[in-house]
Amino acid sequence: MELVVAIGIGVLTGSGVWLLLRPRTFQVIIGLALLSYAANLFIFSTGGLRSGAAAILEPGEAGTLARYTDPLPQALVLTAIVIGFATTALLLVVLLAARGLTGTDHVDGRERER
C-alpha cells in the first residue's frame, strides 16, 4: 500500500512540476493543482496507512493505539482540499479576465514568434 501511494505522489509531483514549466496559464494552474494534490496525499500518508482502522478511540482501549490512525492529518487534508478548490476557482477567473484583456493565455502576455 505504501509503495502505491509513494508512486502516486511521485507521479503527481513530477506532472505538476512539468506543467508549471509550460508557457500557458491554464497549464500552470493545473500544475499547481497537481502539486497540491501530491502534498495532500503526502500529509495524509503521514497519519498512517491502515485499511479499516478507526480514527476515534473507544472507551477502555487506550492501550492498543497501534491499531488506530492519526485523525489530525485527515483534518488538515480536508481543510487543504477546500482551500485548494477555492484557490483554483479564483485563478481560473483571473485567467479568463486576463485572456479577455490581453487576448492570449501565454504566461508573460505575448506569443512566441513562429
Q: What is the pLDDT of residue 70?
A: 73
The DSSP 8-state label assigned to residue 110 in this structure reads: S
pLDDT at 87: 93
CA-CA distance, 70 to 99, in Å (whole number)? Answer: 44
DSSP 8-59: HHHHHHHHHHHHHTSSBHHHHHHHHHHHHHHHHHHHHHHT---TT--SSPPT
**CA 4 to CA 49: how far, in whole Å?**
11
pLDDT of residue 104: 83
Report the pLDDT value the prediction gives residue 109, as an integer from 0 to 100. 65
- Residue-range domains of the chain with CATH: 2-49+70-102 (1.10.287)
Q: Do the Cβ atoms of 22 and 37 come closer than 8 Å?
A: no
Predicted pLDDT of residue 82: 94
Q: Mean pLDDT in each 10-residue stretch from start to end of the chain (114 residues)? A: 90 96 90 94 81 65 64 87 93 90 79 67
Full-model pTM = 0.77
